Structure 1
């Protein structure tokens, strides 16, 4: 039994070392996207209010500064001019922290436990604060990053116009 525990401990240490090396990839200055001390519930209420006034939806990007995939996604959508423009024209974006300092457990329970999909995970809220979609970011990945085409498709599929029945009928 002690051998099994010892072997398991070595495996965990080995996996942890690999994960630590993976995180050692030098992220850009966006490494502090997530604020563990933030009151996410209040920030979401403010984002919904802003989205309502601007006729947009809210995109919650849930993750942490520890998450290289979260940083990679943010880098893609902020540095690619097409994605950035579409995102800013259609969504109010909010980064919701999930880390050992603050898991936002109660909030994520209210949002249907999106962390089950890994990180980052995206929640789309309408301009009234209703959750209309949860997106597993794994479906947007390609290689060691995210696919611009898949991300744009996700944004377009959940934009205010896409879920407006009047816009849908007009496009037919």
Structure 2
């Protein structure tokens, strides 16, 4: 019985330590800050247009793909994450609302979730975004979604 208790304690302690060391994904909400990181790391932007507090497909994409370990591992080498949220109940700062509306218009986003991949460039202090491609919810979990994302990112090279 002691061995079972000790084994259980070790498993729980190991899982807790692993959960504490796993870094959560950083989703930038400010395009200017994300652009700086993108230019520095030479990674394209992943622009996630979402209705976080009302869009069922957005929540489904989050749960099935964007919150998985596979997606987290993939992002480290491939993209800078940017969340462009259009909530109905959650308050948002006016400058973020304005930025998100401008980007929604620029990328002609008509439905949610929409994920655009773009490469930023700076010219005369002005940011330009070269569109690489877009996707949305894809059934099949992280492997299927990442397969499509990798095909879009292949356009960058």
Contact 1:63 1:70 in 2 (8 A): yes
Separation in 2, partners of 1:96, 1:109:
12
TM-score (norm 1): 0.56
1:131 match: 130
TM-score (norm 2): 0.60
Cα shift readout 1:112-162 (whole Å, capped 9, x = no counterpart)? x11x2x211011111425232342414x1x2xxx53232111221233xx2
- Matches for 1:1-172 after TM superposition, within 5 Å: 43-65=30-52, 66-100=54-88, 102=97, 104-111=100-107, 113-114=108-109, 116=110, 118-128=111-121, 129-138=128-137, 140=138, 142=139, 147-159=141-153, 162-165=154-157
3-state SS, counterpart of residue 130 of structure 1:
strand
Separation in 2, partners of 1:45, 1:60:
13
| Structure 1 alignment gaps of length 5 or more | 1-37, 166-172
| Structure 2 alignment gaps of length 5 or more | 1-27, 92-96, 122-127
Change (3 A) 1:105 1:81: closer
Alignment length, in residue pairs? 115
